Structure 1
Amino acid sequence: MLAQSTYLQIDLGVNEAASLRCAKHCELRCLSGKIWITEENSGRDIVLGAGESRRLTRPGQTIVQSLGEGAQCRLVLARSPYGLLALLRHWLPDAVAGKPGYHLVLGG
């Protein structure tokens, strides 16, 4: 069986940051480069290299920043009956507003 997922791919320039809203339970995967992650009301920051991933656990805002060079990361939507609605409500505006670096992939 082929599993399909919905994700938001984010291309970050040199030391560029992106703000993610309502990403609790989503998985953040670093595809290339190195990224720094901080979740709202969390006591620690995380650094991921290419091929590493982290499940986000905190509600609120999450900041992702490339470290030293550009990076690509993928925010894989948490599987839930409301997952797609959350994606459309919170992340689609960035993807369709022409904001550089945001690519929405449904069923990839």
Structure 2
Amino acid sequence: MVTYLRLNVAAGELLVVELSHPAQLWCEAGGVWVTHEHSTEDIQLYRGEHRQLAVGKVLVEGVGQLCFCGENLQITPASRGSLRTDLDPAFA
């Protein structure tokens, strides 16, 4: 089953995500910086862009609306600041 997790990241917020399975990250609005623990370079995503992410810890900063999606998606989000999440496992 494909699961989707939508997140709104606010200015000054650091989102820490632990991915237990590979996932796609879509930037639906705004722009964010993404750092993966197994990568030596940061990724910038802007509205309409996406990236495939491997298992591991991911840091996200910026201002935007994001959507993580994948099979057997298990995400443990934590943040510095407020975080709003909407989990919709039946989204198609």
TM-score (norm. length: structure 2): 0.81
Which aligned runs of 4 or more in structure 1 are off by greater than 6 angstroms?
none
In structure 2, distance between residues paired with 1:50 and 1:42: 22
CA RMSD of aligned residues (A): 2.1
Give the equivalent residue in structure 1 for 2:60: 64
Max Rg structure = 1
Give the equivalent residue in structure 1 for 2:35: 38
CA deviation string 1:29-86 (max 9, x = no partner)? 00000011000031111001000000002x32101111xxx31000002x2xxx15xx
Aligned residue among 5, 11, 21 for 2:2: 5
In structure 1, distance between residues paired with 2:61 and 2:29: 13
The answer for unaligned runs of 5 or more in structure 1 is: none
1:24 CA drift (Å) = 4.5
TM-score (norm. length: structure 1): 0.70
- The structure that is helix-richer by fraction is 1
Give the equivalent residue in structure 2 for 1:104: 87
The answer for unaligned runs of 5 or more in structure 2 is: none
The answer to whether the 8 A contact 1:40-1:61 is kept is yes
* Cα 1:56–1:102 shift into 2, 3 Å: same
- The structure that is strand-richer by fraction is 2
